[in-house]
């Protein structure tokens, strides 16, 4: 399956909307492929995960854990009690977790009997900074964010429980059947998509 067909199928199955133009590759990244996808519902950064990497024994578990940590970090500053009220912005960690679909960050499509895993993020207009454009101010910001990450001191209960073994997670992503979504990911006519870290419910 070609990349554009893959992205079109992803948008259809997970109710992201109808693609308005050809998806363009986003720069950066060495292991996976990222695309700028624009639909009639919004703009997304879609990461197609490397199938060879996802064959590794702990890959799916690690990807899921990573996004759960990002989700918890994004929510940290929004609810922290500083003693002078709840911090809403000054101590927020600018993490951008993948969107959740039916409670899951990692999505899957079937491609010629090979599962194609993907992550979908909201598209953010930004640019990367490189030397000599990086200055002391940027370093201070990075240092502050690192301090907040350490101060968050996330515990397992804040991240959520995962099956103890990778092989216990794989059956949750049962991609058998060309027209069937995996287990709990089966979409109903009215899809409910939760935007991670915001608590917003999106009902097409």
Quote the percentage of the chain above a pLDDT of 90: 42
**In terms of pLDDT, which residue wins out, 166 or 56?**
56
pLDDT for the residue numbered 164: 58
Does the reported pTM lie above 0.75? no
Name the nearest CA neighbour of 25 among 13, 34, 16.
Answer: 34
The Cα 20–Cα 44 span in angstroms is: 12
Q: Helices 136-152 and 59-79 sit at what angle, rounded to 10 degrees?
A: 100
């Amino acid at each position: 399956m070609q990349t554009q067909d893959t992205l079109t199928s992803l948008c259809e199955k997970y109710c992201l909307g109808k693609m308005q133009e050809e998806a363009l590759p986003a720069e950066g990244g060495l292991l996976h492929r990222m695309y700028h996808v624009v639909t009639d519902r919004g703009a997304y950064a879609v990461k197609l995960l490397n199938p060879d990497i996802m064959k590794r024994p702990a890959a799916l578990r690690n990807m899921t854990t990573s996004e759960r940590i990002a989700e918890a970090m994004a929510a940290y500053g929004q609810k922290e009690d500083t003693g002078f009220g709840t911090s809403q912005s000054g101590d927020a960690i600018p993490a951008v977790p993948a969107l959740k679909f039916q409670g899951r960050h990692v999505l899957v499509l079937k491609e010629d009997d090979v599962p194609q895993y993907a992550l979908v993020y909201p598209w953010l207009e930004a640019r990367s900074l490189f030397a000599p454009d990086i200055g002391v101010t940027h370093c201070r910001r990075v240092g502050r964010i690192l301090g907040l990450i350490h101060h968050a001191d996330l515990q397992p209960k804040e991240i959520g429980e995962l099956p103890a073994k990778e092989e216990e997670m794989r059956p949750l992503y049962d991609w058998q059947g060309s027209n069937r979504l995996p287990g709990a990911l089966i979409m109903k006519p009215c899809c409910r998509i939760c935007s991670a870290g915001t608590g917003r419910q999106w009902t097409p």
